[in-house]
Amino acid sequence: MPSIDTDILHSLLFPPRTVAVVGLSPKPHRESFKVAAYMQRHGWRIVPINPNAAEILGEKAYPSLTEAAAHETIAMVNVFRNSEDVPPVVDEAIAIGAPAIWLQLGIRNDDAMARARAAGMQTVQDKCLLIEHARAAH
């Protein structure tokens, strides 16, 4: 497993960017909602990817990355899905030309992330965007 260079983390975390959040729940008690709300409070534009919601955190939700990319410029894909569900998300992120993909804490798929790196994407896995942002901001 390649280690994550702190310069790469910093470059992904600052400045705020537009992030598509795959698996973003509209339920405030869910981690995906808490992380996305935190990022939004820190200047990030959230693009919810959830086929079962029309709007989350005041932003229009899209059923897929492909649909979102037709309307938004996505700088990073943040994934809240089970590890085994990552490969098709990575394939879609590659297809839309997303420059970076971030798998949340507890989510790992080395093969899919190797494909993402081979496609030129910056990759992070098994790290929480909120925790890493808060740590780097202090």
Read off the CATH number of the domain in which 63 is found. Answer: 3.40.50.720
Q: Look up the pTM and report it.
A: 0.92
Name the token pair of 12.
């992904």
**Residue of 72, 71, 49 lying closest to 61 (CA atoms):** 49
Dist CA 58 CA 42 (whole Å)? 15
Instruction: For residue 1, tell me if it sits in a domain.
Output: no
What is the model's pLDDT at position 135? 86
Name the token pair of 37.
């709300």
Helix (H) or strand (E) holding 123: strand 122-124
What is the model's pLDDT at position 10? 62
Name the token pair of 16.
């705020």
- Residue 42 domain boundaries: 6-137
pLDDT values of the chain reduced to their tens digit, one per residue, 138 residues: 444 566 666 677 666 689 999 999 999 999 999 999 999 999 999 999 999 999 999 999 999 999 999 999 999 999 999 999 999 999 999 999 999 999 999 999 999 999 999 999 999 999 999 998 898 877
What is the model's pLDDT at position 1? 41
What is the domain count for the chain?
1
Q: Is residue 15 reached through a cis peptide bond, with omega within 30 degrees of 0 on the bond before it?
A: yes
Instruction: For residue 105, tell me if it sits in a domain.
Output: yes
What is the model's pLDDT at position 2? 45
Q: Any idea of the CA torsion for 54, 34, 32, 26, to the nearest 10 degrees? A: -20
Instruction: For residue 30, tell me if it sits in a domain.
Output: yes
